[in-house]
Structure 1
Amino acid sequence: MLPMLRKQRQRRTSGPLLLLCLMALALPVSAEDNPLVGKLWSPEQQRFIDWPEFYAELPKGGWLLIGEQHDNPDHHHFQAELISALGEQQRLGAVALEMASRDKQPLFDQLFTANEPPTPQALDWQDGWPWSLYQAPVEAAFKWSQSVLAADISRETMSQVYRDKAPDGELEPAHADFMRDLLFESHCGQLPRSQLDPMRQVQLARDQSIARVLRNHTSTDRTGILLTGSIHARKDLGVPRWLDATPSLTLILQAVEENDQAHGDDPGSYEPESFGNLATVDLILFTPARENPDYCAQMNEKS
């Protein structure tokens, strides 16, 4: 049973004002931005949808999976605003975090029950997830949600899975092949292929763990939110494959480029490549361009 939402933190908003609040979550667009910025694209319907339609489609008794780029501040700002908007209207269930392992849940529960603002010290927050980026959405989660959930596997479990296998088994062979290629490419082609399958097992175990937390913490007539990386959020690859009958909607946050010759202003060109005929995401929200470091170049310099 989820803890009761703290009534002293709830505020009601009238209908017209609610609509303005919901639409205000669209990212601000400047004249220099790619025209896609702030728009929501549905790959299945091959069209843009507006914010009232987005809110109407949120799964009650299920989860909104937000696939982020971990180091993108715009993505974390959006997450905090969305959590607050749903919380103000008493539509928000739990908020689950990939960034915290399940062994930290007692610390999360203790802080939530004490009704105190979260700090990295109180949560034993992992250094690999910069608090400067995650502070706003985590604070919003503790303020507005029914509970805040640590969803990832622990380091000890990760080590065990790396030696053995994911506890809930495999998906289809095409999934395994796709994930091996994805892991190899994401490590700039420098990862020994002997490590690909153990790393894939860890990825599977993490998806399984997150899905188990989500399945066990649904709230009737409310929508929970998962904050996670885009691969974990994908319908064809990640957590949704292990949710069984639990309703879910995947929203990927995608930074665009101002003068991107490969994509331009074609929203369909940003849709992730899938394997087979599986759907990848439900919605893509385009966010402003960010100058990202060339991680592969940095790895080449060190090698």
Structure 2
Amino acid sequence: MSDSAYAKPSPKGTTLVRKLMAVAVLLSGCMAWRDGSAEAAGNPSACVPQGVWMEPADKAAGDAIAVPELFRRASATPVVLLGERHDSAEHHRWQLHTLAGLHAHRPELVIGMEMFPRRVQPALDRWSAGRTTEEEFLSESDWRTVWGYDSALYMPILQFARMHRIPVVALNVDRALTARVGREGWNNIPPSGREGVGDPAPAPSAYTEKLAEIYSAHGRQPGTGDVREDPSFRRFQEAQLLWDRAMAEAIADAHRRTGATVVGIVGAGHLEGRHGIPHQLSDLGIGNSMVLLPWSAGIPCSELEAGLADAVFGVSDDQEEQGSWRPRLGVSLAPQEEGLRIESVVGNSVAETAGLRAGDIILAAAGTKTSEVGKFIDIVNRQAPGTWLPLSVRRDGATREIVAKFPVS
């Protein structure tokens, strides 16, 4: 769901929380990229200068990379993965310009997009072929339900694909499948219910460690002992691996069918460290994918890690563009028939202060019943600073009223 439903967490101890901003690991959005935050604002070190490609190194950028050399290398690879923070206009502008550069070097491209589940592929085909209007496309692709972010952030990329008749491939699976894996585990899903996805490759140990930290940071109850031994965590990890595997399989299939370079538009959390999609691609026989990430101004150099990506590009921090205050609730959600299930609650958020908990079902917001993430986002986005949002919530079989109070600024 949209980051607009999130409250920005406090700086202390929330590096990993910031990486998981959309619908958490279990559901349809993705792990997203770091944002320029209050923590970074006090350390605008510009370790990756704006407009410069650099190779990441530990706690600092490495050498600058010449643009012609970078695009020559990228256009010769089977897969180029462009990360993003979903609500960042600057990240999407960077993706579009990078995509245009790749197209100039190699017109034979396919664009793969995390935003769409496989069932809407016919709508993408009609759009790319120029047979539908933007309004028709957004309706046919079920945009409001399957993604929910402002379509204006993504339409320039889709318009570019349409203008150049570049095929666009849906990379994702339906939320219901990832949610079911999170509840039941991958091995309990029959082959008929897996949407054609094969068994994921086991997670690298570093990925398991990162997911364990994220799992704990999102208010879940791991119980006693090593969180990695908790059955709930294992299901949590299996859901993430399913997500990575599904997108990797769709990318690999598109490359093998067309011979083109596939450009993936995905949340950066699926890419960083080459643990997610790149790891699954390697298991599928495509080990030379290229990972490119935007690096927003103001993020501390301590966030840089060697091996984070093949290259990072310095972009501006669009917090000022978006406004100094944005209504964020601080939850990750899964749609249910009766409402929206809270999968996790961000620490030090509006939601946590209001007393919302993982497992709660939001039945209505401001008196409006909703089981669609997009509609809920609209309601949250309409909240002005200092206002109160009444929520009807079901917990343990009983319905209660909870008021979320948004800060004055």
- Report the TM range for the smaller structure's normalisation: 0.7 to 0.9
The equivalent of 1:138 in structure 2 is 158
Structure 1 residues 1-303: aligned runs within 5 Å: 34=46, 36-43=49-56, 46-60=62-76, 62-88=78-104, 90-118=106-134, 119-125=137-143, 126-144=146-164, 146-162=166-182, 163-165=184-186, 167-169=198-200, 170-185=202-217, 187=218, 190-193=219-222, 195-218=232-255, 222-244=260-282, 245-246=285-286, 247-257=288-298, 262-263=300-301, 269-272=302-305, 279-291=307-319, 295=330, 296=347, 297-303=349-355
* Letter of the structure 1 residue corresponding to residue 220 of structure 2: L
Deviation of 1:89 (Å): 5.2
Normalising by the residue count of structure 2, what TM-score does the alignment of the two structures yield?
0.56
Report if the CA contact (8 A) 1:111-1:122 is conserved: no
User: 1:64 touches 1:249 (CA, 8 Å); kept in 2?
Assistant: yes
Aligned residues: 256
Q: 1:59 to 1:85 in 2, by over 3 A?
A: closer
Instruction: Name structure 2 gaps, 5 residues minimum.
Output: 1-43, 188-197, 223-229, 331-346, 356-409
Q: Equivalents in 2 of 1:222, 1:135: separation in Å?
A: 22
Give the secondary structure class of the aligned counterpart of 1:58: helix
- Call closer, same or farther: CA 1:48–1:85 in 2, change over 3 Å: closer
- SS in structure 1 opposite 2:255? coil
Tell me what 1:12 maps to. Answer: none
Distance 1:248 1:123 in 2: 28
CA–CA distance in structure 2, aligned partners of residues 57 and 221 of structure 1: 16
What SS does structure 2 have at the residue aligned with 1:42? strand
Q: Distance in 2 between matches of 1:33 and 1:131?
A: 32
Larger displacement relative to structure 2 (59-68 or 285-294): 285-294
What is the CA–CA distance in structure 1 between the aligned matches of 2:271 and 2:253, rounded to whole Å?
A: 18
Deviation at 1:107, TM superposition (A): 2.0
CA 1:48 to 1:207, structure 2 compared with 1: closer, same or farther past 3 Å? same
Work out whether residues 72 and 105 of structure 2, in 8 Å CA contact, stay in contact via their aligned partners in 1: no
Distance 1:128 1:116, change over 3 A: closer
CA distance in 2 between counterparts of 1:174 and 1:86 reads 31
Shift of 1:232: 0.7
Measured after TM superposition, the shift of residue 242 of structure 1 is 0.9
Query: Whole-Å Cα distance in 2 between the matches of residues 138 and 183 of structure 1?
Result: 34
Displacement of 1:33:
10
Does the CA contact (< 8 Å) of 1:153 and 1:206 recur in 2? yes
Quick check: which has more Rg, 1 or 2? Answer: 2
CA–CA separation in structure 2 for the residues paired with 1:59 and 1:67: 17
Q: Is the 8 A contact 1:61 1:221 kept in 2?
A: no
CA contact (8 A) 2:126 2:132 kept: no
| Distance in 2 of aligned mates of 1:107 and 1:192 | 40
Q: Partner letter of residue 350 of structure 2?
A: Q
Q: CA deviation at 1:100?
A: 0.8
Contact 1:112 1:142 in 2 (8 A): yes
Cα separation, partners in 2 of 1:33 and 1:181, compared to 1, 3 Å: closer
CA deviation profile, 1:52-97 (whole Å, cap 9, x unmatched)? 1211111435111011111110111122233334335553411001
Aligned sequence identity (%)? 19
* Paired residue type of 1:36: P
Tell me which amino acid in the other structure corresponds to 2:351.
M
Let me know the Cα RMSD of the aligned residues. Answer: 2.9
Corresponding letter in the other structure for 2:221: P
**2-side partners of 1:49 and 1:89: how far apart?**
17
| Preserved CA contact (<8 Å) 1:93 1:145 | no
**Residues of 1 paired with 2:148 and 2:265: CA distance?**
15
Q: Does the 8 Å CA contact 2:75/2:102 hold for their aligned counterparts?
A: no
**Shift in Å, 1:159:** 2.8
Opposite residue 279 of structure 2, the aligned amino acid is R
**Higher RCO (Cα < 8 Å, 6 or more apart):** 1
Moved more, 202-211 or 103-112: 103-112
The more displaced of 81-90 and 244-253 is 81-90
Preserved contact between residue 90 and residue 318 of structure 2 (Cα < 8 Å): no
- For 1:75 and 1:192, the matched residues in 2 are separated by 34
CA displacement at 1:221 relative to structure 2? 6.8
